[in-house]
Amino acid sequence: MGHDLRASTHPTSPQGAPCPPRSGHSPSCLACGQPLPRQARRLCAPRRCRTCRRMSVESPSPSAAPRSRPVRRSWVWAGIAVASLGFMGVAVHDLVQGRSQPPPRLGALPDFTFTRQDGQPFGLKQLRGHPFIANFIFTRCPTVCPVFTQKMARVQEHTSKLGTDLQLVSFSVDPAYDTPERLAEYGKKYQADFTRWNFLTGDYATLKDTIVQGFKISMGREAGAPEDDLLSIFHGTHFVLVDGTGEIRGYYDSADPEATQKLETDAFRITREEG
């Protein structure tokens, strides 16, 4: 046939590949290069010296290595959990301490009396004994007032459990235009409960003095602006919380949801304490 059949009898390794043929020189260890002893020179024997084989046996495989990493990782997570609990404890302590401190007293309001949306006089005398929340608007305002009034309507809803014990008062900063009738229509537009929510108008100079000097809230009109220039009218957009004795207890930015929420919390506290 012409074929050399001796190749078919050549030994193969367990993986099926032919073992390297014998050569004339002495085989050496594949690991360290030292000559192998005679008894280790048989075909397909592991070509490593006794020392290297012993080292491979004594050296643990990766799978047999002690699993210290998961244990270390569990300790790390345990530390994080303990630290988190400590932080939460501090936060709760601070929250409780904050709640235990009533809103500060920031000064007493001067006496005032204006005209309510129903045409009746209304002022600090009628509010005596009732905490109230004040804001400052005008009915033809094209910018911030609609949003400011909507937020007061939301405060009315969120504090409804307090009933008439907590009053809401909206002062007009454009009293020449905002008649009692217009204020009544404006209040109805925002579903005002007139047993709790009062809209006041009156003499411009007196209103300005009460708002600026009493409430410490800005109000005015740009000098020389025409009457129909509504953007020339300016005023503050903070809610003011006043207790039943007429003392200011806090200012709350109406543009900040957290401040508005704090306003409601403080209003509940003061109303219940005084009730």
User: Binding site for Cu cation: which residues?
Assistant: 141, 145, 235
Do residues 112 and 123 touch, judged by C-beta distance below 8 A?
yes
Q: Which stretches of 70-196 are assigned E, i.e. beta strand?
A: 113-116, 121-123, 132-137, 167-172
Do residues 237 and 148 touch, judged by C-beta distance below 8 A?
yes
117's tokens: 């949306």
Helix (H/G/I), strand (E/B), else coil: 148: helix
Binding-site residues from annotation: 141, 145, 235
Q: In this structure, what DSSP letter does residue 218 have?
A: -
Cα separation, 199 vs 178, whole angstroms: 10
Do residues 94 and 116 touch, judged by C-beta distance below 8 A?
no
Positive or negative CA dihedral for 91, 97, 102, 106? negative
Q: H-type helices in 106-232, by residue range?
A: 124-127, 144-158, 180-189, 204-209
Residues sharing a CB contact under 8 Å with residue 222, sequence separation 6 or more, in sequence order: 229, 232, 234
Do residues 157 and 147 touch, judged by C-beta distance below 8 A?
no
- Give first-to-last CA distance, the chain, whole Å: 118
